[in-house]
């Protein structure tokens, strides 16, 4: 018997002073705003691309032109919703076996005001990937690195 337990999702929301279409397209142009310290490319991040369709790729391009997959676009409903599959492990590597979901919903609150809600869920997949985590736990950017960053932030 194997009981599947769901881990609580990480939920965030932000209100932006922009029309819903602009908010959606700005979010999709992820390379314009992504905090560059979070990169898996070897040569630093040049851009982040999500192909604007269900089944599209979601990847990062490094300064040397190399592409690193982050996951997939599972659903694409502009300007209201996108569902992305985030397949980056705790040690910042693409892992095709790790599937977590990032759902982003856009709600019009006014002509120039949009509420953006982000939910990162199915985090229990990180439990299933515990093997990889345990293996990487000694690496700088790995599990211990996360814990160290967490401890520092507390």
Partner 1 sequence: MTYQNDTLAALADRTRREIFERLSAKQSSVADLARAMPISQPAVSQHLKVLREAGLVRGTPQGARVIYEIDLAGLGPLRTWLDRFWDAQLDAFKKAAETKEKDQ
Q: How far is the CB of 69 from partner 1 (least distance, A)?
A: 18
Q: Is 111 in the site for partner 1 (CB under 8 A)?
A: no
- Please name the residue ranges forming H helices in 12-142: 20-28, 125-128, 130-136
Among 16, 74, 83, 85, which residue interacts with partner 1 (rule: CB under 8 A)?
A: 16
What 12-16 contacts at long range (C-beta under 8 Å, 24+ apart), as own/partner pairs, is 12/117, 12/118, 12/119, 13/115, 13/116, 13/117, 13/118, 14/115, 14/116, 14/118, 15/109, 15/113, 15/114, 15/115, 15/116, 16/113, 16/114, 16/116
Residue list 68-107, contact with partner 1 (CB under 8 A): 90
DSSP annotation of 88 reads: B
Q: In terms of C-beta density within 10 A (0-12 exposed, 13-18 middle, 19 or more buried), how is residue 136 classed? A: buried
In whole angstroms, the minimum distance from the beta carbon of 131 to partner 1 comes to: 5
Residue closer to partner 1 by CB (options 26, 99) is 26
Cβ proximity to partner 1, 11 vs 53, nearer residue: 11
Site string for partner 1, 25-44 (x = CB under 8 A): -xx-x--xxxx--x------
Q: What is the binding site for partner 1 (CB under 8 A)?
A: 1-3, 5, 7-8, 10, 12, 14, 16-19, 22-23, 26-27, 29, 32-35, 38, 90, 112, 116, 118, 120, 123-124, 126-131, 134, 137, 143-144, 146-151, 153-154
């Amino acid at each position: 018997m194997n009981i599947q337990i769901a881990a609580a999702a990480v939920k965030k929301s932000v209100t932006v002073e922009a029309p819903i279409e602009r908010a959606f397209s700005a979010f999709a142009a992820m390379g314009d705003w992504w905090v560059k310290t979070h990169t898996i490319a070897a040569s630093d991040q040049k851009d982040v691309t999500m192909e604007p369709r269900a089944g599209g790729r979601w990847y990062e391009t490094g300064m040397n032109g190399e592409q690193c997959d982050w996951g997939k676009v599972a659903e694409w409903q502009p300007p209201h919703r996108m569902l992305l599959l985030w397949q980056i492990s705790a040690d910042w590597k693409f892992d095709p076996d790790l599937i977590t979901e990032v759902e982003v919903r856009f709600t019009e609150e006014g002509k120039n005001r949009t509420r953006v809600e982000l939910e990162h869920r199915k985090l229990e997949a990180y439990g299933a990937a515990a093997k990889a985590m345990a293996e990487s736990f000694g690496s700088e950017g790995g599990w211990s690195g996360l814990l160290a960053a967490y401890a520092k932030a507390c």
